[in-house]
Structure 1
Amino acid sequence: RQVTVFFEAVILLGVSFIPGGDFNLLANCLTSFACGMQVESFRKIHGHGIATTMCIGNLRNALQNVDDYIITHRRGFLENGLLYFGVIFTFVFGAVLGNWCIDRIGLHAIAVASVLLFIAFTIMFIDRERDLHRKWARIIADWQTTSLKR
């Protein structure tokens, strides 16, 4: 996935330097290719099917999970619904940010998306599971040490 994010960032950065007018088809093709890479590489989040480049299916899934929570009162449904709403919120925030950037820097606004992808690329190298395992290992070791002293 990191490789995909890196190439998406590079492609979109390249698109930001393509002049408008006669080269719109090239810019659209490259942007569509980057979106296709995104759709193919990020199909699931925490085991749930997510559409990262559109909202309709996510909205249906969010509302279905909230409805299931209302009926069953199972916390898992509420958590899943919030996950989907989080993805939708991020999508909408990105659209608003993109529109704001277009007003300020025009055709080069797609470079902002590229910068955000480079940041995401860097963040993806943080191994949260390893850090969590280390934390639990320390907690268990401290507990064992405390237990042995008693």
Structure 2
Amino acid sequence: MIKLPKIKLMDFTDPSESFLLAVILAAAGGFLDGYTYIGRGNVFANTQTGNLILLGVNMARGRLAASISYIVPVTAFLLGTYITEKIRIRYGGLKHLGWRQIVVALEALVLILISFMPHYSDNVANAMVSFACAMQFDAFRTMNGVPFSSTLSMTNMRGAIEYMTNYREDCDTEKISRSFEYLITVLVFTLSVFIGSRLTYKYDDSAVLFPASMLLFGALIMFLKKRDKTAPA
């Protein structure tokens, strides 16, 4: 019989890997996919595989102009990954401010700027969103010490099934907890796509301020937990 899994919401050892932060990042990632697809011309913010598929389909149909709208976010995603690595190398040694906090704060700032961009600049807006999502994707690769993606739910679904299968073999309760952590992030991501889509219908461009707020909250969580970790006994 499967016991009720124990999930540790916050981890003071490494705040950037906490389950709570993973949920926040997954929520922001799902929201942004719904936002760009509904409000910015049927382009995915995170799922560059989807953009590559749509790029190939449009090229096969001879729609070269439409193809550009998918080339732009993919290129921006690559650039965002490069910039994130430069930030990690340059600021990875800071003691009182984590480099991942810089990444999250910068991502939130980019999203705030996007909220002021009109629809005739959708290609630029999508490029900026993909740039921001690439930073998040590259900076946050693990959750409580295991591989994690705030943008690729397939990675998390695979992890959930892997740990569930291993639990059936040795009944290690920690593995069932890991499996549920993965499943919750997938659920949050999916639900956030729905919420992001609905709020984009209602608030249009300004809807992007919701995930921006989530990310700022995530940066604050990392800061506060780092303060608690280094506080004198």
1:88-107 deviation per Cα after TM superposition (whole angstroms, max 9, x unaligned): 12212321221121121012
* Equivalent-residue separation in structure 2 for 1:31 and 1:10 (angstroms): 11
Give the aligned partner of residue 111 of structure 1. Answer: 209
The runs of 4+ residues in structure 1 deviating greater than 3 Å are 128-131
**Structure 2: 5+ residue stretches without partners:** 1-99
* Equivalent-residue separation in structure 2 for 1:115 and 1:91 (angstroms): 16
* Equivalent-residue separation in structure 2 for 1:129 and 1:71 (angstroms): 40
Does residue 64 of the first structure (1) align with residue 162 of the second (2)? yes
1:28-73 deviation per Cα after TM superposition (whole angstroms, max 9, x unaligned): 1100100110011001111111111120111011011111112221
* Equivalent-residue separation in structure 2 for 1:71 and 1:87 (angstroms): 24
- CA gap 1:129/1:115 in 2 versus in 1, 3 angstroms: closer
- Of 105, 110, 134 in structure 2, the residue corresponding to residue 6 of structure 1 is 105
- CA gap 1:25/1:86 in 2 versus in 1, 3 angstroms: same
Larger Rg: 1
The residue type equivalent to 1:65 in the other structure is Y
- CA gap 1:129/1:65 in 2 versus in 1, 3 angstroms: farther
1:70-85 equivalence runs, <5 A: 70-85=168-183
- How many correspondences in the alignment? 134
The residue type equivalent to 1:41 in the other structure is A
Does residue 45 of the first structure (1) align with residue 143 of the second (2)? yes
The residue type equivalent to 1:13 in the other structure is I
Give the aligned partner of residue 41 of structure 2. Answer: none
Does residue 19 of the first structure (1) align with residue 108 of the second (2)? no
Give the aligned partner of residue 17 of structure 2. Answer: none
Does residue 98 of the first structure (1) align with residue 196 of the second (2)? yes
Question: Secondary structure of the residue that 1:53 maps to in structure 2?
Answer: coil
1:124-135 equivalence runs, <5 A: 124-127=222-225, 130=228
**Structure 1: 5+ residue stretches without partners:** 138-150
TM-score by length of 1: 0.81
TM-score by length of 2: 0.53
